[in-house]
Chain A
């Protein structure tokens, strides 16, 4: 089955700097890659997703890139703000679309 790895596990950045989180997946048939943000005490929420027919997608300060050949995808957050502090999860969906497999998460701290 699908296996998703995520790095780094923790990340601290100064407010205003950029943050990058990288993920790799194992199943070359996976074609849906969402990113979720989890704030303390809450359930994860989708922040952006990308499908395999697209190489990059942007939404304001957030962007995701996908390299299907290398089987890796990344989340880029620019001009970070304290409210960006949270745990971020990448995920990949198997070709059948029935299972969404998550990475282990990255705890992002934005220092004011």
Chain B
């Protein structure tokens, strides 16, 4: 039982490049979400999903896309990376809305 798995753990991009952060969970959780963590700003919600085929925007969705084709996977796409997207990204899942969030170990992204 791996829980929430994020890849890659570290990534360096140049401005304008695109990439996808992968997130997978093996707990059959319906709810999944992406947060970014920046010093002094806590965890800010980017996008979330309440089930396969359903996604919605969080607090800071601009510059990011998501999809949820399966219950297990919830990838986060950066179409044209900007230095302001340098951050640590966390994926989280929950068995239900307003339930305990299980977080991955994070993906540290640097955009030059």
A residues near B (Cβ < 8 Å) are 1, 6, 9, 32, 34, 36, 41-46, 49, 89, 93, 96-105
Count A-B pairs with CB separation below 8 Å. 58
Task: Indicate which residue in B35, B40, B105 contacts A102 across the interface (CB closer than 8 Å).
Answer: B35
* Cβ B40 vs Cβ A99 within 8 A: no
State the majority secondary structure of interface residues on B: strand
Give chain B residues whose Cβ lies under 8 Å from the Cβ of A97: 97-98
20 example contacts (A-B, Cβ-Cβ < 8 A) are as follows A6-B42, A9-B40, A32-B98, A34-B100, A42-B105, A42-B106, A44-B43, A45-B103, A46-B100, A96-B97, A97-B97, A97-B98, A99-B45, A99-B58, A99-B59, A101-B45, A102-B43, A104-B41, A104-B42, A105-B42
Give chain A residues whose Cβ lies under 8 Å from the Cβ of B33: 100
Across the two chains, which residue of chain A brings its CB closest to B108? A41
Across the two chains, which residue of chain A brings its CB closest to B100? A46
List 14 other contacts, CB 8 Å, given A93-B97, A103-B42: A36-B101, A41-B105, A42-B105, A43-B92, A43-B105, A44-B43, A44-B90, A44-B103, A46-B101, A98-B48, A100-B98, A102-B42, A102-B43, A104-B40
Cβ of B56 within 8 Å of any chain A Cβ, yes or no, is yes
In angstroms, how far is the closest chain B Cβ from the Cβ of A8?
13
Give chain A residues whose Cβ lies under 8 Å from the Cβ of B68: none
Q: How many residues of B contact A (CB 8 A)?
A: 24
* Cβ B59 vs Cβ A1 within 8 A: yes
Interface positions, chain B 1-60, Cβ under 8 Å from A, are: 4, 33, 35, 40-45, 48, 50, 56, 58-59
